[in-house]
Amino acid sequence: MNVELKQQYVMNRRKLLKNSTLGLLGLSIPSVHLANSGLELYMQFDIANNQIPSFWPNIDPEIVSEVVGKSHFDLERVKELVDARPELARSVWEWRFGDFESAIGAASHVGRRDIVLYLLSKGARPSIHTFAMLGAYEVVKHMVEFSPGIQSIMGPHGISVLDHAYFGERMKDKMTPKELDNLKRTIDYLESLSDAGGEKYIKESKEEQAKYLGDYRYGEGEKEGFTIGLNMREKMTLGPLGGFGGALYKIRNNSYIYNGAPSVNVTFEMNQDKVKSLTLKDPIVTVTANKVS
């Protein structure tokens, strides 16, 4: 296994919660039943072991992940989760390598106006990307005038403000004439700016992409490897073996950054005109994986 660790972080989360977080809160792990304490309203218990869940006092990360994931496409499930716990409207999830995405950010970059409006009603925090998708022309214009350059900030997965505006057309058949007009004005305005389309990366041909596609391994374990694939936008992606991946953006020959994150680099090593391996490097870990298919 070729893995370099610059720093090692080892943490027993359950121990941390017992000794650190709960201590700061002035609490201790209960050794007796708390059925009448009222705490049952705010936490779930491991009934078999009578223990507070290891993630408490944080919300179960699986629920946070589900809210953000479902905000891409499933309004009814989002409502079920957020109606029961409205603070989940502000959910933020890190997919991989610093690719942070909020629930409203997820709905914004896929043009789900209905999910965005619901989340806003529950206290979600919109960004310029959300306002661009909604066609909030005056808001977007004032934000750019107040904070010049904000239009160049990339959203989740490295998606630009201008692309968010384009995605706003997805539900145009359910928009009023005024909403459609404002969206057009927003798109026209953002197109008039030089940098609302985000960072400019080098484009690859389909033939060039094809030589990188496949599986790469850095160990024998089931998950010790990567898959280089293509997404619906025909961008190369890097993900776990056989799994969903984030987009790769070309910055020079055989070299990419992951989802617009400048600190995460993916470099392909060539042998003549064939790909031999890839090396993924972030500020802590460097991993080299050999191409196996």
18-74 tens-digit pLDDT: 343 333 333 333 333 333 333 344 444 454 566 788 888 889 999 999 999 999 999
Given CATH 3.30.530, say whether it is the number of domain 206-291: no
**Residue 256 has what pLDDT?**
96
Give the start-to-end residue ranges of the domains of the chain.
8-58, 61-192, 206-291
Cα-based distances in Å from 281 to 43, 70, 257, 259? 39, 30, 10, 14
Give the SS3 label for residue 268.
Answer: strand
For range 189-212, the mean pLDDT: 94
Vertex 126: Cα angle to 246 and 132 (nearest 5): 75
Half-sphere exposure of 38 (CA within 13 A, CB side): 0
Token pair, residue 247, equals 């987009």
pLDDT over 70 (residue 140): yes
Give the SS3 label for residue 221.
Answer: coil
For range 227-231, the mean pLDDT: 95
Which residues, including other chains, have CB under 8 Å from residue 246's CB and lie 6 or more apart? 95, 96, 97, 99, 157, 158, 237, 238, 239, 258, 259
Cα-based distances in Å from 180 to 74, 170, 175? 24, 11, 6
- For residue 133, report the phi and psi dihedrals to the nearest 5 degrees: -65, -40
Q: Specify whether the CB–CB gap between 190 and 196 falls below 8 A.
A: yes
The CATH architecture to which 61-192 belongs is Alpha Horseshoe (1.25)
**Burial tier of 76 (Cβ tally within 10 Å: 0-12, 13-18, 19+):** exposed
Q: Specify whether the CB–CB gap between 190 and 151 falls below 8 A.
A: yes
pLDDT over 70 (residue 170): yes
CA Rg, the chain, in Å?
Answer: 23
DSSP 189-212: HHHHSSSTT----B---HHHHHHH
In which band, very low, low, confident or very high, does the pLDDT at 262 lie, cut at 50, 70 and 90? Answer: confident
Q: Specify whether the CB–CB gap between 261 and 246 falls below 8 A.
A: no
pTM: predicted TM-score of the whole model, two decimal places = 0.78
